[in-house]
Amino acid sequence: MRSLSDTLERLARMRSVNPVLPTGSILRKLDHFGDNPGDLTAWCHVPKHLPAAPALVVVLHGCTQTAAGYDAGSGWSALAEDYGFAVLFPEQNRQNNANLCFNWFNAADTRRGQGEAMSIRQMIAAVVAEHHVDERRIYITGLSAGGAMANAMLACYPEVFAGGAIIAGLPYAVAATIPEAFDRMRGQGLPGTGASQASLRAASRHEGAWPTVSVWQGTSDNTVVPQNAAAIIAQWRGVHSVPEQPTQVETIDGHLRSVWRDDRGVDVIELHKISGMGHGTPIDTSCGYGSASPFMLDVGVSSTVLIARSWGLAASFERRERTHAPTSAESMATPQTPPSGGVGGSIQMVIENALRSAGLMK
């Protein structure tokens, strides 16, 4: 198991891997999205031919990474250009965290209406208003610290998201200090299922349908160990009322996918175990999306494409070998009804009106 000092040293060595905006990046900066209490930066990509009422994917980079660097490695903007959905990339600033990690372990940044979580929520509201996003099709994904923050967003704002994908991430509200964060990454001191599920429920007053959750984990990850993936599954089983054991286990591209299906026949939780993979986002450069770089691992499986397919955002050409008999009903989670509200005037006025109506700006 890696020591705390070794992990810090490795993160420090990676701090300058990606420049702020790699040559050829198509991201544009989002300048107006509320009072930004978490002091984050926002980038986005909107395809040239955006359909009416498009979907939105929020993508959170990992430690030592930037928004543009993660986009280049994962291929999200390229996929969005091909399939017509918007992508939002919140970005950490070094004054908030020296290693550019989202502060997933800081309660002030992971509570509803506060800090970095609130900034990300404001960014989403701004993009929704400007591009008339279908509020029933908003999704979030992230790697490592970004995965943990994606989980925090799903917990704090479950009414906003139809689904989330957590890659090498951690459960919500399991650490309150940096030493605790490193312990949890190593699988030490993780709370029991009951306490973890209670933390999730306490994050909001949500009473509606909960977002679906997809968890991705390398079996050889020594930075955020696989016990965290199991703990995330356990945390979300409560709100989805599914049993401990998965409904189905199957093989995709040689790697195991476990599925928890609710009593409506909906796949509400899934776990992808990428055999032999270390810490990072699984990509497949042969599919035309993404490029290999530190923490962007070419293992012949594109998590970007498979996640987009599961959300109904990209064409599905399944290659599955079933190890358990499938049930007849496999579908997306029932989306929530979008809130009503009018917009008008300039883009700036539209954004500000939407932020005010959502209670995100005075």
Residues marked active site are found at 144
- Tell which residue, 299, 238, 303, has the closest CA to residue 269: 238
Q: How many residues does the chain have?
A: 362
Nearest partner of 212 among 150, 164, 152, judged by Cα: 164
Position of tokens 């030493």?
179
235: part of which helix (H) or strand (E)?
Answer: helix 227-240
Tokens 């929020």 correspond to 58
Angstrom distance (rounded) from CA 346 to CA 360: 19
Nearest residue to 11 (alpha-carbon basis) of 278, 356, 295: 295
> Beta 267-274 vs 212-218: how paired, if at all?
parallel
List, in sequence order, every beta strand (DSSP E) within 278-357. Answer: 281-283, 296-298, 320-322
State the Cα–Cα distance between residues 259 and 248, nearest whole angstrom. 5
